[in-house]
Amino acid sequence: MDKLLNFLGLCRRAGKLTTGNDAVVETVQKGESKAVIIAGDTSPNTEKKLRKTCEMNRVMLIKLNRTKDEISCAIGKFAAVASVTDTGFAQNIDRLQQNETGGNSV
């Protein structure tokens, strides 16, 4: 079982996950986002734009070692990027990713 993907599904079912580039940028700019998640195969241009937006708004950016398809399957909706709007969920996703990679969020 993939704990990280299962947890993303839980986050979506709890209503604490926003998907889609425009919607994610909006939650970040409104101060609602606690973390932005991007798939490992997200385009470099999209990643660059989101990284800049997150840095300007002091929001954690977590690049997952998962593909868009894996994330989409886990949450039941196509998504290459997502915004977590709950602090506890964001911290757990960050912790799960760090345990997996042995490193920090980017």
What percent of the chain shows pLDDT beyond 90?
86
Q: What is the residue extent of each domain of the chain?
A: 3-100
73 vs 68: CA distance, rounded Å: 9
Q: Does residue 36 or residue 98 have the better pLDDT?
A: 36
Task: Say whether pTM exceeds 0.85.
Answer: yes
Provide the CATH number for the domain formed by 3-100 in this structure: 3.30.1330.30
Residue 67 pLDDT: 94
State how far Cα 69 lies from the chain centre: 14
**Mean pLDDT of the residues in the chain:** 91
pLDDT of 4 above 60: yes
Q: Of 4, 1, 3, which Cα lies nearest the Cα of 84? A: 4
